[in-house]
Structure 1
Amino acid sequence: MAPTAIHETLGVTASKKRPDADSATRETGESIRLSARSAAYTKQTSGAAPTYIQANLIILPSKYASDFRILCQRNPVPCPLLAESAAVGSWDALRSWIPGVEGTDIAANVDLRHDCPKYMVYQDGVLKTSHCLNIEDKWTEDHVCFVIGCSFSFETALTAAGLMPTHTAHGRNAPMYRTSLPLCPAGVFMDATYIVSMRPYRKRDIEKVRDITRPYVATHGEPIDWGWEAVARLGIKNISLPDYGEAPVNPSGTELCPGEGSGDKELVPVFWGCGVTPQEAVQRAGLEGTVFGHAPGYMLVLDVRDRDILQH
């Protein structure tokens, strides 16, 4: 995480690195979960526990589990399924969907009701509670949790290559946007569209960014689009006003706008599939009952490492 490399690539100075960068190298997936469980860790998780996979959660009444599983299978880029509850109602054990990886390898000591720093609660498809610390009092024996890969997982590799995302460098949450790109439907999940996360990069670095993130298929893989023209192609209304997360910034920490740099040094938005997509699908479907998700940017940090899930 050498500040000189970051400066050369994106212009982020050493003074802008996350204030907890040194302690982050000592964090593990379990330590983040235990801290979240005790309500000691309540911040967003970009840059936390480097090399440990981070994940999105969606927790549904069991009658929707089969449809949701198919939704993930049909839409593996925005909804890469890593694991689910070991049984209906189980909040402390996982069944793995990663070949060759057991549920206990994904997260051995886990409490799905507490281990995200913050949660969202939906009732009959409508958001009722935002950024609550736990969902223990609302969990039932009929709930099934799905664990979905998160693009925060490849940010360690980008940073090691001198390509630290600007939101990480400035201690911010990643910007996330609704798009007009449709999901392949499954059962009750109709008319849903992709949510994407965005990280700005110089044009000259895009192929390197693609190469680095491509093997992370279980956590969205390489970008789905890039460039200022992609904003319109994806149907994003205003890049300065994300639907989730925080407004995007350039390397100096000011508002991201077109026209910074020229030629291959131009700074452009780069978009990835995002695991907030299922929460959008839940709202579009108007599911009956209580549904939970992680608060965008406040992920479940797992025990499995990035080296365990890479595809080459």
Structure 2
Amino acid sequence: MSSSVPSVATPYALRQQIRKGQFKGNTSGQAPGFVQCNLAILPADYANDFLRFCQLNPKPCPLIGMAARPGNYLLEEAGRDVDIRTDVPAYQLFENGQATQQVSDLMDVWRDDLVTFMLGCSFSFEEALLADGLEIRNISEGVNVPMYRTNIPCTPAGRFSGNMVVSMRPMAAADAIRAVQICSRFPAVHGAPVHLGDPALIGIEDISRPDFGEAVTIHPGELPVFWACGVTPQLAIAEAKPPFCITHSPGCMLVTDIPNSKLSVL
């Protein structure tokens, strides 16, 4: 979360601040009660393969919605006056699978062949965990959630493939069990954890050195609890090497007007 901007109550107000350059930070904890989305924006000739990749890998790539047609940057299903070119705090640009630069808006790079995908984000289920009285360490320590590459393979689709990325939140065993119960109600935002306990079993060599985000404290007796993470499609995109694509920067999400309660299956 931005250290200089207090929590903003409504998604629309937050998006307006982002659009004006008044909010530039992590969106975790902002506009509580509403769905936040990871973004993948791809040329139209890559869109069908990516859609299939999301359908085959719903835990790391839970599809919330997509643009109705190439070039469409106003996403009515996401909420009031949502302009995908301006309403995210930071974007990452890629060329041929390589990250080239981070930008604060897409006005200079938008193209008529680009298709936007909105993917579910763990910030939505974090709210449900907090409401149940569970501590979320990355929030209590004021850092971006730690994320790790794993050896868990995704199901390939066309030009897209790769291994799952996971996010980690340490918990006491009883809290971890409760977290499984709570998050199982939210399959559209990664659902239940994919692993608890020994990080080495999923290919993580050093839990203190995340590949993305920032490390958090793991207290004695706590288990690391791992969820499928929305950075997964970013790595799949890097492997597919489209000539040009755009994602959100980690932690900087599209905050929609969709209530989190609409994603609960119970």
TM, length-normalised to structure 1: 0.82
Cα pair distance change 1:239/1:110, threshold 3 Å: same
Match of residue 166, structure 2, among 188, 196, 207: 196
Aligned to 1:38: 20
Q: 1:120 pairs with 92, 95, 104, which one? A: 92
- CA distance in 2 between counterparts of 1:280 and 1:136 reads 24
| Structure 1 counterpart of 2:180, from 210, 215, 221 | 210
Measure the CA separation in 1 of the matches of 2:175 and 2:110. Answer: 44
Measure the CA separation in 2 of the matches of 1:200 and 1:46.
Answer: 17
Over residues 37-79 of structure 1, what are the superposed CA-to-partner deviations in whole Å (9 max), with x where a residue is unaligned?
A: 1111111011111111111000000000000000000000000
- How far is the alpha carbon of 1:19 from its aligned partner? 7.6
Q: Does 1:136 align with 2:104?
A: no
CA–CA distance in structure 1, aligned partners of residues 156 and 46 of structure 2: 13
Unaligned runs of 5+ in 1: 1-17, 95-102, 251-255
How far the C-alpha of 1:170 sits from its partner, in A, is: 1.8
Q: Distance in 1 between matches of 2:75 and 2:28?
A: 25
Segments of 5+ residues of structure 2 without an aligned counterpart are none
Distance 1:299 1:236 in 2: 26
Matched-pair contact (CA < 8 Å) for 1:77–1:220: yes
For residue 20 of structure 1, report the CA deviation from its aligned partner: 8.8
Superposed, 1:72-111 pairs within 5 Å as: 72-94=54-76, 103=77, 106-111=78-83
Match of 2:231 in 1: 276
User: Which residue in 2 is equivalent to 1:240?
Assistant: 208
Which 4+ runs in 1 deviate beyond 4 A? 18-21
Q: TM-score, normalised by structure 2?
A: 0.95
One of 223, 234, 256 as aligned partner of 1:302: 256
Q: CA deviation at 1:185?
A: 0.4
Deviation readout 1:103-128 (Å, 9 max, x if unpaired): 2xx32311111111111110011110
Aligned to 1:175, which of 136, 146, 154? 146
Deviations 1:139-195 (A, max 9, x none): 1001001000001111111112111311111211011111111110001113x1111
Q: Is the counterpart of residue 293 in structure 1 residue 247 in structure 2? A: yes
Q: What's the secondary structure of 2:118's corresponding residue?
A: strand
Q: Does 1:226 align with 2:196?
A: yes
CA RMSD of aligned residues (A): 1.8
Q: How does 1:57-76 map to 2 (within 5 A)?
A: 57-76=39-58
Alignment check: 8 A CA contact 1:155 1:164 kept: no
Identity of aligned residues (%): 40
Between 60-69 and 198-207, the greater mean CA deviation after superposition? 198-207
Given residue 308 of structure 1, which amino acid in structure 2 is its aligned partner?
K
Q: Measured at CA, do residues 20 and 210 of structure 1 come closer, stay the same or move farther in structure 2, by a change above 3 Å?
A: farther
The 2-side partners of 1:216 and 1:30 are apart by 23
Deviations along 1:246-274, one digit per CA (max 9) or x if unpaired, are: 12x22xxxxx3xxx43xxxx111100011
